Structure 1
Amino acid sequence: MLKQFHRAEANPQLPGWQAYVVDQGWDRFSAEDHETWDILHDRQTALLQGRIVSRFMDGLGRIGLGDGGIPELGRLNDRLQPLTGWRCVAVAGLVPDEAFFAMLGERVFPIGNFIRTRAELDYLEEPDCFHDIYGHVPMLADRAVADAMRTFGEMGVRAIAAGEGDKVARMYWHTIEFGLVREEGETRILGAGLASSFGEAAKSLEDPAIERRRFTPATAVATPYRHDAMQPLYLVADGMDEVVEALEGPLP
């Protein structure tokens, strides 16, 4: 039986993607929630040394996620917005694809307003605030990636309207969520799903049973993926420039 994910409900009194935004309510997070964040942050940062693209570590340093406890989004935005114009908003859970890509098109990133339990430290199927903030936001501090993500959001809205939502979802999955990239002669992590997963990060690079194929935009949009288990297949781009170009489209 598939786990029931947190899903956001729209506020009918608000327009468009704004209908899914909620107050973070930072004060409601418990001491255990903040301790969980600290455990995840510290061990993931140690694990990713030498395993993730340099732009991620550069961004992590710029936005400072290791200050202690779950970041308060207002303070996080004070660091992020001057860098690339992006800001984060809290949502109650997964938002529909149309709203998600519309957010990206306006340099807004949705943050799931909950954190995993201690029993789920190593792997979590659905995106919580650790995945959304730690996995994604450091890359949004990079100007080239941030601009490409905005363009990709706009493209995603058009693709869904044209009945090609599956293509844009697969491109996003095989780059921003679970992509690998060649950098300095080594294969490194790009995707936020790997960056935020202690169980899957090293496995994606080191498990000989996992298939790793060369990334091309055509391969990405044609390759299905699993959202309910660790991935059996990853696509490896030749470099970050190739990923940025793919996100800026057009879709194959």
Structure 2
Amino acid sequence: MTTSNHDHRPVAEVTARLDRLRRLVRVAFVIGGYPEAEFRRRESAALSYATSGIQIGIVRAEASPFVQGLTPAEVQLAAPSFIAAYREAEREGYDAVVPLGTLDLGVDGGRSVVDIPVIAPTEAMLHVGCLLGDRLGAVVYHDDLIPMLRAIVRRYGMEEKVVGWRSTGFDLPDISANATAMSEAFVQAARKLVREDGCDVILAMGVTQCPVLLDPAWVESEVGVPVVEGIGAPLHLAGMLASLSLRHSRSRWRRSSAVV
């Protein structure tokens, strides 16, 4: 009895797929311009999510949202720097890339200029949160940021999923110096979302609060519902997509040759 090459093809394909799943996936985390101590806090938080299958590296961008009174103008001005960082991550051989922060800086444009997954933290949090519950509650830095962050959620078509918003009352550059007060305010805000708005998942819509300064597992133990944050969730989602050899649709994000 003879055996054709065709008979062995499924075995070869399965073997190749298993090899891809077993290999170490490299995910870049893009951090903008921060004071050195603040940079190290964010770097440490990101690297803590590395596993035996996911290696995390840091790529720096020049622009930063670390300003008093952040507005959409600063967000849009930061996009070119982050898109350039995505290109740098691809040149360095990373399999996927994630920007720091729930503003999803430069993600939409980045997906048109690189061929690796560019995973948006807020978008990742929303999808992970919807797998864990039905009513999401968001805790942000300051009330002034809620309209801008709500617009980001609306852009993803998931505004109806976020049924409550609260803030801790601190502007981003002031959080580290007020870590204890912020911690108490964060837990209070999350408890109100659960008790008053019926939220069954908390989204930490500001990574400096959680997980940079607050352990999401500790917050969960305090409030009694899952807490999804914007560093670990997108990094591991990026690693999963890369390990499955999945890429963004070129039908949706046409390839651009624009120089950024």
TM-score (norm 2): 0.28
